[in-house]
Amino acid sequence: MTEPLPAIVLIGHGMVGQRYLEALAERGATRTHRITVLCEEPRPAYDRVHLTSYFSGSTTEDLSMTPPGFMAEHGIALHLDDPAEHIDRTARTVTSRTGQVFPYDVLVLATGSFPFVPPVPGKDAPGCFVYRTIEDLLAIEEYAKGRTSGAVVGGGLLGLEAAGALQGLGLATRVVEFAPRLMPVQVDEGGGAALLRTIESMGLTVHTGVGTQEVLTGEDGHVSGMLLSDGSAVDTDLVVFSAGVRPRDQLARASGLDVGERGGIAVDSRCRTSDPRVYAIGECALACDGRVYGLVAPGYEMAETAAEDLLGREKEFTGADLSTKLKLLGVDVASFGDAHGTAPGSLDVVWSDSRSGVYKKLVVSPDGVLLGGVLVGDADAYGLLRPLTGSVPPVAPEQLVLPAGLGAPVALGPSSLPDHAVICSCHNVTKKAIAACATLSEVKKCTKAGTGCGSCVKVIGQLLPAAADKGLCGCFPFTRAELYEIVRTRRLASYQELLDGHGRPEARGGDGCEVCKPTVGSIIASLAPAVGASGYVLEGEQAALQDTNDHFLANMQRNGSYSVVPRIPGGEITPDKLIVIGEVARDFGLYTKITGGQRIDLFGASVDQLPRIWARLVDAGFESGHAYGKALRTVKSCVGQTWCRYGVQDSVRMAIDLELRYRGLRAPHKLKSAVSGCARECAEAQSKDFGVIATASGWNLYVGGNGGATPRHADLLAQDLSDAELVRLIDRFLMFYIRTADRLERTSTWLERLEGGLSHLRDVVVHDSLGLCAELESLMADHVAHYRDEWAETLEDPERLRRFVSFVNAPGAPDPTVKFVPERDQVKPDLAVLTIGGAVR
């Protein structure tokens, strides 16, 4: 008679539990053991790290971490919605909620943690929730229908995730954090300040340094508000508690296993409990270093350790890297190593730019060893800095935090890392192991790197052969031109729909990145009427895709103030409008300058002043000049035949017509144009993206010109054109450029890169060699027909105006970091506040 296989019972099927099963399968243990899994939830393991992506379109299937057929392939019995309720260590059995009894030879506890809810009055009232499972999210989503406000108790990782989810549900959201700063465990005071500023600019209200005294309820017993420890009361329809977690060790306590004084199932370096037949892994375990680890990577390492020990192999878990990189509410936040500088004698190297919400701090030893750091707002260097921790970097520390052009001449890349550097901390994968693979898919399959939190994917891509991937970014395997075609042909009006349907598998359900979000936002805006999207860039999801300038419909300047540029088509302006601009500049104390594109630029406006400035300008007949957008800026002109004795055509009229036709047209890069009334070329049309020069017989059209650092003379596309022919060719040229150019590619670079160059462009837009011209003209006609001034639309909607405040908690308060000093009867930024020292701004 065949001996029965040894039985393993796994209690809990979260991310760490599933990793343990995979570790067993990889080592062949699923063939030598009978495995039973008792799962409390009604679904198999899913990705809790990206839980919030459910609210941005990810399905429960997208979040699943259990490969289809995995359980059946390895003979694993999974019991969903049937948690363990009793452990008998003498009989070596586990009894589940349904009364089933499961014998074991080895028991593994992966019970995770539970949300901590402060013991405040009203915490159990209808409208109070925790934020831990998909069921929690479903309940929050249902309750939020028809309600207008929500509050999150806790400003840590999950708290900010929850706040983002509530805001995504359309609720006016506030965060209450007892500590003096957000994310107190991960970031220091400077990083917390940068994070706070950025989050408040997104419309969230944040209370730090206060606790929740009571949840208030209305006559129906449902949540109606909160009483805070400073005595203030706030209104809210919904409360989410996210004030930390506690190890789920109740089963272990009841069965007599050793637990820590403050919770957690005590384990040794091999993840064995006080009973050698019982293991504990993940958030429920108190490691031998006295710490409960609440991150995915340490949990995975515990799972690997327990699997190895089961098979009698040498592996120990004595502690773990607590480094983490996340994107919270669209803000990159990362910390690594000794982020708070607790080592004796440690020194800080800091770069802080409060105007853009960027904060970077490196902690170094007196002899130059990188000990740790904090990154907020810009965490691109995380993948390089974390592996360098514990070594002396090959360049000075300040070169690792300063932006390009401010003392950072040496660009370090992943290739400079040693082979033993750990690139993926979730699965402990080194640079050498990654470099042995050819593609990202191969890396994931062979090493599992990039399948955990995902923070290492960008660095992995930089270590692989450059020719392997021509995609726009780590989120999409397609070029910008290919994404344009997908959006156009599939009529996609949603970035999230594009990402989930056409993004890389590992990016689907995520939040995207700083490369693809504004790029796709621009594509959708340029195709807005054709795909059924709103042309207003701050409408719904589109608002989250915009960069700082588009987010406030103004250009941010070096001291954190903004400039205002009203459109002045063709440079033509009436005395009355000039007076209005002068009065606005005088009344708001703005620096005034005439630009090279025949417009007037007003500098020094604060965020809260922008709506008041634009209200006066719009009333006077002005509209947005789109100086902040990747769009048409100006169509410059000379005075033409109306006034000039050399002019042969009315260049002012043509410049005005063209500027009004193409205003607001979103493109891969900014667009500039000019119209000259004769061959003397006073408007400098041949240095523009498209330029027009008058002839005695009509107009000559030049394209692909560029001024600036890399000037290029424009090429003659067609000559002696009538007004109608000129407009038709420009329509085709611009829409073909928007359709086929790369991200942030000027027309000059695009034309030089275009296969066949000017000859091919002429074939396409003049001779219609590809049969596209009717479609290109139709797309431009849609744009012209649906154009509306962005600032006029903004002023009409009180909800849209809510974003224009310096501080959400104090809407009328000025920004103390924005200062000016007098110069030549005007003002200029106070450069004294932009210093490099202990804190660099």
Q: Which of 711, 763, 713 is nearest to 736 (CA)?
A: 763
| Side chain identity at residue 505, one-letter code | P
In angstroms, rounded to a whole number, what is the distance separating the alpha carbons of residues 66 and 764? 50
Rounded Cα distance, 41 and 769, in Å: 60
Neighbours of 657 (CB within 10 A): 18
Report residue 493: phi and psi, to 5°: -105, 5
d(CA 570, CA 320): 63
H/E segment holding residue 350: strand 347-353
Q: How far is CA 214 from the centre of its chain?
A: 34
Q: What is the 3-state secondary structure (H, E, C) of 663-720?
A: CCCECCCCEEEEEECCCCCCCCHHHCCEEEEEECCEEEEEECCECCCCCECCEEEEEE
8 Å CB contact between 476 and 504:
yes
Distance CA(35)–CA(30), nearest Å, equals 7
Give the C-alpha separation, 348 to 365, whole Å: 9
- 475 annotated to bind ligand: no
Q: Amino acid letter at 535?
A: G
Three-state DSSP state, 67:
coil
Q: What is the dihedral of CA 176, 181, 184, 186, to 10 degrees?
A: 110
Distance CA 95, CA 291 (A): 29
Task: Give the pairing of strands 347-353 and 245-247.
Answer: unpaired
Residue 635 · residue 734 · CB < 8 Å: no
638 in a known ligand binding site = yes
446 is an annotated ligand-binding site residue: no
> Measuring CA to CA, how many Å separate 818 from each of 189, 609, 628?
21, 13, 20
DSSP 181: S
User: Which has the closest alpha carbon to 245: 130, 355, 164, 343?
Assistant: 130
Q: How many Cβ atoms are within 10 Å of 402's Cβ, its own excluded? A: 18
Residues whose CB is less than 8 angstroms from the CB of residue 652 and which lie 6 or more positions away in sequence, other chains included:
570, 571, 572, 637, 638, 639, 640, 642, 675, 677
User: Is residue 682 part of an annotated ligand binding site?
Assistant: yes
**Structure tokens belonging to residue 241:** 């508690």
Are the C-beta atoms of residues 499 and 508 closer than 8 Å to each other? yes
Distance CA 744, CA 480 (A): 10
Residue type, 640: G
Q: Which tokens go with 581? A: 């601009």
Could you count the other beta carbons within 10 Å of the beta carbon of residue 340? 18
- With CA atoms as reference, report the closest residue to 11 among 100, 116, 118, 122: 100
User: What is the Cα Rg of the chain in Å?
Assistant: 30
Q: Alpha-carbon distance 677 to 668, whole Å?
A: 29
Residues in Cβ contact with 427 at an 8 Å cutoff, skipping those fewer than 6 apart: 297, 300, 447, 448, 449, 451, 452
Indicate the annotated binding residues. 638, 644, 678, 682
Indicate the annotated binding residues for siroheme. 682
Indicate the annotated binding residues for [4Fe-4S] cluster. 638, 644, 678, 682
